[in-house]
C-alpha cells in the first residue's frame, strides 16, 4: 500500500521547488462506494503552464486503473504509462479533460490514509484522510497543495448500508437509484488543494444547530457519530459555536459555506483534520461526557474543535504553497487556538501548559537526532514533519511576531495577510511580508527563526553600580549546533522584563532610547551575539524577572539566588513567571539533592511552597502547577548521561521533602476540605479544586503510602467525575496498592464498551514503576481488547509507556527497547505513519548513560536492518542512528 524503502527515497528539497507545469481547474469525482471495493471516476480539466514543456504526470499510489480517456477518447496503452506511483499521459493540452476510473479496497486499507473503513465491516463507515499526500490513494491527480481546483463530488452507494453520504462543500441534490442505491452531490465553490478533500459514508447519527455568522450567513452546523455516542457531541457543538464567534470577533473571519459538518471516528492517525466543510475528528477530541471525560480532555476537545475550525481561514482560504511551509498554517493555527483557549479559560494557566508542553516535547526534539527547522529544508516523508517543532515552536514564532507588532498591529497584519493571499497557496515570506507591510516594519530578520533548528541559550549577566545608580543587564545568545546545521546565526530574541525591589515592588525602567522607557515592564530585543542594557535611577540592587510570559522560545541561563527566585515566586504579578521562578527553584533543589551539597535551594523551594500552600491567596489550579516540579523528561534533558530510574527516584525524593515540609497534617486537612467540596461540575473553580486535590493526594501517598491508598480507594469509589476516578486509580497503580487490582477490574467492566475510557485503562497501567511496567505492558498486549490496528489503543499502551514512564521503559537490560522495536516492525506493516511517530520515543537515546545507550542503539539498529520497512519508519530510524 505505502512506499517501501527498497524504492530508495531521495529527499525532496525546498530549494528545488518549481511551480506546477500542469494545474487542474475543475474536478468532477464520482464514487461508487463499497466496503471491499469502491470505484472512483475523475474528470480533470487541465491547465498547462505555457513556459514549461513537461509531459502530464499525475500522482497515484495503489490504484487499479480501469479506464482512461483524454478529451472523450479512450487512450490506447501506448499513449500513457502507469508506474508504481505515477501516471504519465501523452497528448494532453491546455484545456484538455482527462478522465480516469480506478478501483480501491477500503476495508484492506490499514494505513488509514486515503479511503478506509472505520469500525467493523458490518456496522462501520467509510471515510477519507488526505493530508498530506492521501489524495493520490484515491485518484490520479497532481497531489500538491499549490494546485487549487473547484470540486463537484457525486457519491453513490447502497442506501441501507450507507444511508448518510457526505462530502465537502454545499449540498447540490440527492436522489434514488435502482437496486436500493441512492446518490448525493456536493459542490465546493472555494477552490482548494487536494489534501482538503473529504467524504464520509455510512450509518451515522447527527446533532444539528443553526448559526448565523456576523456577516449574516445562515449556516447549519452538524455533528455526526455512530449512534451509541451521539449524545456525547453536545460539548463539542458548544465549543464550535464559541470558536466561530471568537474568530469573528478576534480576527473578523466569518464562515463561508451553508453547512459545516464534523464527524467523529475511533480510527484516526492524528488528532483531527480540517477538510473544507467536513472536518473529521479522532473521537478522542470530539466526544465528551462527565462520566468518561477528564477535565484535561474537555479542554483538549475545546482546543482541537477550535483549531480545526480556525484552519478554515489559516490553512484553507489561504493554504500552503508546498509542505515546507506547513508551519504557515499549523504554527499560525496553534497560536490562534492558544489565544482562544486562553480567552475561554485562564490565560496564565494556559501559558504554563503550553510552555510545559514545549519543553517536554519540542525542546528534546530540537536537541536530538530529529532536530529540524520550523521550515525544514528537506524531507523524505512529509508525514514525519507534523512535529512539535512545526506546530508548537511554530506557534511561539507567531507569538513573538504578534508581541513585536502589538495587538492592533498584529490584527492589521493578519487582515492584510488574509486579504492579499485569499484563494492562494502562500509562503512564510508572504506571511512575514504582509504583517510587516501593514505595519511598516521589516520582519524578514525573523526568517532565521524559521530556518534554524535548535533551542537558543540566552545568558543573562547583571551588574549593579550603586554609585551611579545603574543596573546593567548583559544578554548573550548561543545556539548549539544540530545534526545538519553545525553553525548558527544570532536571532532576534524579544526579552520582556521587569525589575523587582527586595520588597517585591516593580521599578520604573529608565532605558535610554526605549520608546516605553519609564514603564514597569519593557521588551528589549537582543539581536546580536551579545548586548548590554543599562537601567538608570535604580536605588538598590534589584531582582530581575526576565523572559516574562515566555517571550521567546529559548533556554534562559541566569544566576538568580534561591532567595531571589523565592521572592519572584511570592511576588511576581506575571502568573507565568511566578510559576517559572518555582520551576527554576525546583531545578536548583533537585540538583542540590543529587549533588548532596548545601540544602539552601531545597529549603528555599520547600519554604516558599509551604507558605503559598498555607496562605490561600493562590488559585487552586495555579498552586497545583507551582507545586509540581519539572517532569522527568525535562530533568533528563539537563544531563549528559541520564539514568531515568535514578532521575525518577530523586524527583520523588524532592517531592517527599516538600510533603514533609508542608506536613502530613496540613496536607490531609486540605485534602479533606477539597474532598468535601467535590462535585462533577465543569466550572473553572471545580476543575481547579480537582487539580489541587490530585496533587495533594499524590503528596500524601509519598509520605504514607497506606494512607494515600486508603484515600484513593474511597475517592475512586465515590468519584462523581472521570477526573477524580482516574486520579485515584493512578495513585493506586503507581504506588502498587493492594486495592489496585479490584479497582482496575471494576474500571474495565464499567467501560468495556467505551473505547476512549478503555484507552485510559491501558494507559494508567503502563505507569507502574520499573520492571513491573514491562510486565504490565506484556500482559496488556494479550488483553482481548488490544489491537495494533487502532492508533489510539497503540498510543495508550506503547506511547504512554515509552514517553510518560521513562523509569519503566528504560530498563537497564534493554528489554523495554527490544519490545518496542519488535512491535514497531509489526505496526509498520499495518500503519507506517503511526509506527514512525511511535519510533520517535527513542529520540533521547544518545544522552542515556552508557549501558542503556548501548542497549537502545542495538535495538534501533536491529529495527533498521529489517527488510521492507516503510519510507516513514526508515527516515526516522536512519536519522536516529546518524
Instruction: Give the residue numbers annotated as catalytic, written as ranges.
Output: 308
For 333-348, the DSSP string reads: HHHHHHHHHHHHS-HH
Closest distance to ligand ARG from the beta carbon of 791 (Å): 11
Closest distance to ligand ARG from the beta carbon of 464 (Å): 48
List residues binding ligand ARG (CB under 6 A). Answer: 131-132, 269-270, 272-274, 307-308, 330, 383, 386, 833
Closest distance to Zn ion from the beta carbon of 311 (Å): 6
Please say which residue, 58 or 305, places its beta carbon nearer to Zn ion.
305
Stretch binding Zn ion (CB under 5 A), from 329-337, 574-582, 731-739, 811-819: 329-337
Closest distance to ligand ARG from the beta carbon of 311 (Å): 6
Q: 224 - beta bridge partners? A: 206, 263
Closest distance to ligand ARG from the beta carbon of 322 (Å): 15
Q: Which of 414, 272, 404 is nearest to 332 (CA)?
A: 414
For residue 608, count other CB atoms closer than 10 A to its CB: 23
State how far the Cα of 313 lies from the Cα of 332, in Å rounded to an integer.
10
Compute the C-alpha angle 587/648/590, nearest 5°. 20
Per DSSP, 482 falls in state B
Please say which residue, 334 or 732, places its beta carbon nearer to ligand ARG.
334
Closest distance to Zn ion from the beta carbon of 276 (Å): 14
Is the bond into 132 cis (omega within 30 degrees of 0)? yes
726 binds, among ligand ARG, Zn ion, none (CB under 5 to 8 A by kind): none
Please say which residue, 114 or 816, places its beta carbon nearer to ligand ARG.
114
State how far the Cα of 251 lies from the Cα of 414, in Å rounded to an integer.
8
833 binds, among Zn ion, ligand ARG, none (CB under 5 to 8 A by kind): ligand ARG
Q: Which of 838, 806, 811 is nearest to 822 (CA)?
A: 838
- The secondary structure of 500-559, three-state, reads ECCCCCECCCEECCCCCCCCCCEEEEECCCEEEEEEECCCCCCEEECCCCCCCCCEEECC
Please say which residue, 307 or 351, places its beta carbon nearer to Zn ion.
307
Compute the C-alpha angle 381/383/387, nearest 5°. 115
Q: Are the CB atoms for 829 and 377 separated by under 8 Å? A: no
Give, for 623, the enclosing helix (H) or strand (E): helix 620-626
For residue 67, count other CB atoms closer than 10 A to its CB: 12
131 binds, among ligand ARG, Zn ion, none (CB under 5 to 8 A by kind): ligand ARG
Please say which residue, 129 or 715, places its beta carbon nearer to ligand ARG.
129
Stretch binding Zn ion (CB under 5 A), from 165-173, 323-331, 394-402, 728-736: 323-331
State how far the Cα of 246 lies from the Cα of 26, in Å rounded to an integer.
33
Please say which residue, 722 or 834, places its beta carbon nearer to ligand ARG.
834
- Non-local (6+) Cβ contacts of 298 within 8 A are 235, 288, 682
Closest distance to Zn ion from the beta carbon of 319 (Å): 12
Q: Are the CB atoms for 877 and 859 separated by under 8 Å? A: no
Strands 97-104 and 38-48: antiparallel
Residue number closest to ligand ARG, CB atom: 386
Interface map 331-370 toward Zn ion (x if CB under 5 A): --x-------------------------------------
State how far the Cα of 33 lies from the Cα of 232, in Å rounded to an integer.
28
Closest distance to ligand ARG from the beta carbon of 285 (Å): 10
Please say which residue, 277 or 562, places its beta carbon nearer to ligand ARG.
277
270 binds, among ligand ARG, Zn ion, none (CB under 5 to 8 A by kind): ligand ARG
Q: Which of 131, 83, 138, 142 is nearest to 109 (CA)?
A: 138
The burial of 592, by beta-carbon neighbours within 10 Å (0-12 exposed, 13-18 middle, 19 or more buried), is given as buried
Please say which residue, 323 or 550, places its beta carbon nearer to ligand ARG.
323
State how far the Cα of 304 lies from the Cα of 313, in Å rounded to an integer.
15
Interface map 276-315 toward Zn ion (x if CB under 5 A): ----------------------------------------
383 binds, among Zn ion, ligand ARG, none (CB under 5 to 8 A by kind): ligand ARG
| Residues at the interface with Zn ion (CB under 5 A) | 330, 333
Amino acid at each position: 500500500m505505502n512506499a517501501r524503502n527498497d524504492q530508495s527515497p531521495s529527499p525532496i528539497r525546498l530549494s528545488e521547488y518549481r511551480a506546477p507545469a500542469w494545474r487542474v481547474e475543475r474536478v468532477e469525482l464520482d464514487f461508487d462506494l463499497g466496503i471491499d471495493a469502491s470505484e472512483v471516476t475523475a474528470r480533470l480539466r487541465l491547465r498547462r503552464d505555457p513556459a514549461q514543456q513537461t509531459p502530464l504526470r499525475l500522482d497515484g499510489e495503489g490504484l487499479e486503473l480501469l479506464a482512461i480517456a483524454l478529451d472523450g477518447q479512450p487512450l490506447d496503452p501506448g499513449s500513457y504509462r502507469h508506474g508504481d506511483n505515477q501516471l504519465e499521459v501523452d497528448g494532453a493540452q491546455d484545456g484538455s479533460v482527462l478522465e480516469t476510473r480506478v478501483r480501491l479496497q477500503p476495508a484492506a486499507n490499514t494505513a488509514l490514509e486515503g479511503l478506509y473503513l472505520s469500525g467493523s465491516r458490518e456496522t462501520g463507515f467509510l471515510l477519507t484522510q488526505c493530508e498530506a499526500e492521501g489524495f493520490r490513494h484515491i485518484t490520479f491527480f497532481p497531489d500538491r497543495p499549490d494546485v487549487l481546483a473547484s470540486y463537484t463530488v457525486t457519491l453513490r452507494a447502497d442506501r441501507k448500508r450507507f444511508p448518510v453520504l457526505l462530502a465537502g462543500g454545499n449540498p447540490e441534490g440527492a436522489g434514488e437509484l435502482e437496486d436500493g442505491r441512492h446518490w448525493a452531490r456536493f459542490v465546493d465553490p472555494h477552490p482548494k488543494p487536494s489534501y482538503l478533500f473529504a467524504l464520509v459514508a455510512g450509518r451515522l447519527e447527527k446533532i444539528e444547530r443553526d448559526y448565523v455568522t456576523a456577516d449574516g450567513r445562515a449556516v447549519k452546523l452538524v455533528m455526526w457519530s455512530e449512534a451509541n455516542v451521539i449524545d456525547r457531541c453536545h460539548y463539542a457543538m458548544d465549543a464550535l459555536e464559541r470558536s466561530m464567534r471568537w474568530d469573528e470577533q478576534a480576527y473578523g473571519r466569518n464562515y463561508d459555506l451553508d453547512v459545516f459538518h464534523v464527524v467523529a471516528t475511533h480510527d484516526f492517525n492524528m488528532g483531527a483534520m480540517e477538510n473544507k466543510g467536513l472536518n473529521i475528528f479522532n473521537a478522542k477530541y470530539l466526544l465528551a461526557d462527565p462520566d468518561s471525560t477528564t477535565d484535561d480532555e474537555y479542554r483538549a476537545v475545546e482546543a482541537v474543535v477550535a483549531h480545526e475550525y480556525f484552519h478554515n481561514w489559516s490553512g484553507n482560504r489561504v493554504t500552503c504553497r508546498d509542505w515546507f511551509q506547513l508551519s504557515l498554517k499549523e504554527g499560525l493555527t496553534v497560536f490562534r487556538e492558544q489565544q482562544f483557549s486562553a480567552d475561554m479559560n485562564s490565560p496564565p494557566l494556559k501559558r504554563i501548559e503550553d510552555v510545559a508542553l514545549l519543553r517536554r516535547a519540542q525542546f528534546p526534539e530540537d536537541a536530538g537526532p530529529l532536530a529540524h527547522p520550523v521550515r525544514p529544508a528537506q524531507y523524505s516523508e512529509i508525514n514525519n514533519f507534523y512535529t512539535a517543532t512545526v506546530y508548537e515552536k511554530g506557534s511561539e514564532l507567531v507569538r513573538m511576531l504578534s508581541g513585536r507588532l502589538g495587538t492592533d498591529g498584529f490584527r492589521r497584519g493578519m487582515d492584510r495577510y488574509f486579504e492579499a493571499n485569499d484563494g492562494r497557496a502562500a509562503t512564510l515570506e508572504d506571511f512575514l511580508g504582509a504583517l510587516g507591510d501593514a505595519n511598516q516594519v521589516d520582519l524578514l530578520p525573523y526568517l532565521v527563526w524559521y530556518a534554524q533548528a535548535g533551542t537558543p541559550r540566552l545568558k543573562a549577566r547583571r551588574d549593579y553600580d550603586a554609585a551611579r545608580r545603574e543596573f546593567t543587564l548583559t544578554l548573550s545568545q548561543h545556539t548549539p549546533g544540530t545534526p545538519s546545521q553545525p553553525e548558527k546565526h544570532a536571532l532576534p530574541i524579544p526579552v520582556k522584563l521587569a525589575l523587582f525591589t527586595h520588597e517585591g515592588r516593580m521599578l520604573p525602567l529608565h532605558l535610554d532610547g526605549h520608546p516605553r522607557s519609564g514603564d514597569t515592564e519593557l521588551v528589549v530585543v537582543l539581536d546580536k551575539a551579545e548586548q548590554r542594557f543599562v537601567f538608570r535611577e535604580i536605588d538598590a540592587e534589584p531582582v530581575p524577572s526576565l523572559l516574562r510570559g515566555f517571550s521567546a522560545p529559548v533556554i534562559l541561563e541566569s544566576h538568580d539566588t534561591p532567595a531571589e527566585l523565592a521572592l519572584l515566586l511570592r511576588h511576581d504579578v506575571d502568573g507565568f513567571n511566578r510559576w517559572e521562578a518555582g520551576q527554576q527553584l525546583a531545578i536548583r533543589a533537585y540538583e542540590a539533592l543529587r549533588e548532596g551539597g548545601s540544602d539552601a535551594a531545597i529549603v528555599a523551594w520547600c519554604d516558599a511552597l509551604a507558605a503559598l500552600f498555607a496562605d490561600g491567596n493562590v488559585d487552586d489550579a495555579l498552586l497545583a502547577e507551582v507545586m509540581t516540579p519539572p517532569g522527568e523528561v525535562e530533568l533528563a534533558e539537563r544531563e549528559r548521561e541520564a539514568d531515568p530510574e535514578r532521575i525518577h527516584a530523586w524527583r520523588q525524593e524532592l517531592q517527599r521533602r516538600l510533603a514533609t515540609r508542608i506536613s502530613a497534617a496540613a496536607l490531609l486537612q486540605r485534602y479533606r476540605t477539597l474532598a468535601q467540596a467535590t462535585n462533577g461540575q465543569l466550572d473553572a473553580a471545580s476543575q481547579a479544586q480537582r487539580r489541587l486535590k490530585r496533587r495533594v493526594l499524590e503528596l500524601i501517598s509519598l509520605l504514607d503510602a497506606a494512607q494515600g491508598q486508603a484515600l484513593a480507594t474511597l475517592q475512586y469509589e465515590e468519584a462523581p467525575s472521570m477526573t477524580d476516578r482516574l486520579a485515584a486509580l493512578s495513585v493506586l497503580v503507581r504506588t502498587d496498592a493492594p486495592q489496585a487490582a479490584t479497582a482496575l477490574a471494576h474500571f474495565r467492566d464499567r467501560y468495556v464498551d467505551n473505547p476512549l475510557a478503555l484507552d485510559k485503562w491501558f494507559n494508567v497501567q503502563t505507569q507502574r514503576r520499573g520492571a513491573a511496567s514491562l510486565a504490565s505492558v506484556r500482559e496488556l498486549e494479550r488483553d482481548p481488547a488490544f489491537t495494533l490496528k487502532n492508533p489510539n489503543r497503540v498510543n495508550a499502551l506503547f506511547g504512554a509507556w515509552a514517553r510518560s514512564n521513562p523509569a519503566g521503559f528504560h530498563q537497564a537490560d534493554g528489554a523495554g527497547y527490544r519490545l518496542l522495536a519488535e512491535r514497531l516492525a509489526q505496526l509498520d506493516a499495518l500503519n507506517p505513519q503511526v509506527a514512525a511517530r511511535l519510533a520517535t520515543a527513542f529520540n533521547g537515546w544518545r544522552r542515556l548513560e552508557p549501558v542503556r545507550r548501548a542497549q537502545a542503539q542495538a535495538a534501533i539498529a536491529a529495527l533498521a536492518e529489517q527488510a521492507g520497512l516503510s519510507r516513514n519508519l526508515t527516515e526516522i530510524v536512519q536519522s536516529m542512528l546518524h
